[in-house]
């Protein structure tokens, strides 16, 4: 194993991790909604599960964002 280079590692990780945030924010509610729609069809609960999972998708997006920011700020 070679010695790691902290600055280069952190810079790469910040670009990778932070540029993932918009995708996570946009896709989390979409995934939630489609999963909810599928479950609604399965359990005949339309439209409730799609609304609930859409809301939870928004929450999951925020939660993942906070986590990703923490990871990006972590120094090696």
Partner 1 sequence: MAAALTALWLPANPNAAISLATGQILSALNFFFLARLVKLFTGAAQVEDRGTAEAMRAKGLLLGGTKLAVVYGGAFAVTRWRGVEFLPLMLGLSLPLLALFLKSIMLAFPAGAARTSRRATSTASPTRSQAKLAATILLAGALALPLALLGPGRAFANDPPTAAATTEVGHAEAGAAEKAQGGGEAHLPNWITIANDYAPDNPIVHWMHENEYLVFAWLAGALFLLFVMAVMKRSAAVPGHLQNAVEWIVESMENVCGGMLGKHLPKYFPFIMAIFFYILTMNLIGIVPGFKSSTSTLDTTLALALVTFLYVQVSGLINLGPLGYLDHLAGSPRDVVGFAMLPVMVPVHLLGEMVKPVSLSCRLFGNIFGEDTLIVVFVGVAALCLKASLMALAVPPMAGITALFMLLQTLTAIVQALIFSLLTTVYLYMMLPHEKHGYEEGGHAH
Site residues (vs partner 1, CB under 8 A): 1-28, 31-32, 35, 53, 55-67, 69-73, 75-76
Report the residue number, 15 or 41, with the smaller CB distance to partner 1.
15
Helix (H) or strand (E) holding 21: helix 21-43
* DSSP-assigned letter for residue 20: T
Least Cβ distance, residue 44 to partner 1 (angstroms): 19
- Cα–Cα distance, 61 to 44 (Å, whole number): 27
Nearer to partner 1, 19 or 45 (CB): 19
d(Cα 65, Cα 24) in Å, to the nearest integer?
Answer: 7
Residue 38 beta carbon to partner 1: minimum distance, rounded to whole angstroms: 12
């Amino acid at each position: 194993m070679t010695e790691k280079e902290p600055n280069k590692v952190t810079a790469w990780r910040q670009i990778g991790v932070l540029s993932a945030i918009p995708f996570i924010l946009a896709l989390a509610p979409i995934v939630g909604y489609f999963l909810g729609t599928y479950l609604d069809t399965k359990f005949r609960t339309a439209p409730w599960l799609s609304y609930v999972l859409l809301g939870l998708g928004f929450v999951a997006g925020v939660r993942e964002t906070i986590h990703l920011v923490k990871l990006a700020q972590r120094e090696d």
